[in-house]
Amino acid sequence: MTNDQTTAAVTPSAWLQDVQRRRKWTLLVLLVAAIGGLLVTESTWPSGSFAHEAIEYFGIGLLLLCVLGRAWCTIYIGGRKKAELVQEGPYSVSRNPLYVFSFIGAAGVGAAAGSVVTTLLAALACYAVFAVVVGKEEQFLADRFGATYDAYRARVPRFWPRFSAWKDVDTVETNPRLVLTSFGDGLFFFLAIPLVESIEFLHETGYLPVLFQLP
């Protein structure tokens, strides 16, 4: 293989890694902005009220679904995303189920504040970031897998599952380390709970001002 051929083979992968790196930085910026917003806002429903607690428990359920769902998806695709086109299990009903579970996790983080508005805003912000990333990834996959990917894209939705398209295999070759890493990464979503509870305590004790209330 010539140097030109080697460069052509490496460049798409490096380009995709750069896209993923920018995605992580964008999410970090949004996280910092969200924390800043929470410092001066609180839920319309006071802590301890039925509505507030119901939203928080709903958020915990979403966080659990996110962690388990991401680990489940990694069982199918861990270490194989760039090497082959995975079309079984969760990837038979959604082209990006890992991201779908991330949307769910983001909604769970927003729900930790006991507010419907923060729940929706967190999910929509996460969706906006990943929608851009997916567009870039699809270019990479279309170049790599050609007509096979075009047929897959025509059959399976980008995000929201089409359960009637479900198909599976008897065995899956997976990487346990990557599955555990995905599971561990998902647990970071739960850090939102003590963070939000601490901010609520500071609001209640008057150490932080409340400028806005959100339902």
pLDDT digits (tens, 9 = 90+) for 104-120: 999 999 999 899 999 99
Task: Please state, for a pLDDT cut of 90, what percent of the chain lies above it.
Answer: 33
Instruction: Output the pLDDT for position 11.
Output: 58
How confident is the prediction for the chain on average, in pLDDT? 84
Instruction: Output the pLDDT for position 79.
Output: 66
Instruction: Output the pLDDT for position 2.
Output: 43
Environment class of 148 (CB within 10 Å of its CB; exposed 0-12, middle 13-18, buried 19+): middle
4 falls in which pLDDT band (50, 70, 90)? very low
Instruction: Output the pLDDT for position 43.
Output: 87
Which residues, 6 or more positions from 182, have their beta carbon under 8 angstroms from its beta carbon? 70, 71, 73, 74, 78
45-99: pLDDT as tens digits: 888 889 999 999 999 999 999 999 999 999 988 767 667 888 999 999 999 999 9
Q: Which residue is it, tokens 């052509």?
A: 8
| DSSP 8-state code for residue 84 | S
Q: Is the pLDDT of residue 24 over 60?
A: yes
Instruction: Output the pLDDT for position 9.
Output: 45
Instruction: Output the pLDDT for position 12.
Output: 57
136-181: pLDDT as tens digits: 888 888 888 899 999 999 999 999 999 999 999 888 888 888 888 8
Which residues, 6 or more positions from 159, have their beta carbon under 8 angstroms from its beta carbon? 94, 95, 96, 99, 100, 103, 127, 134
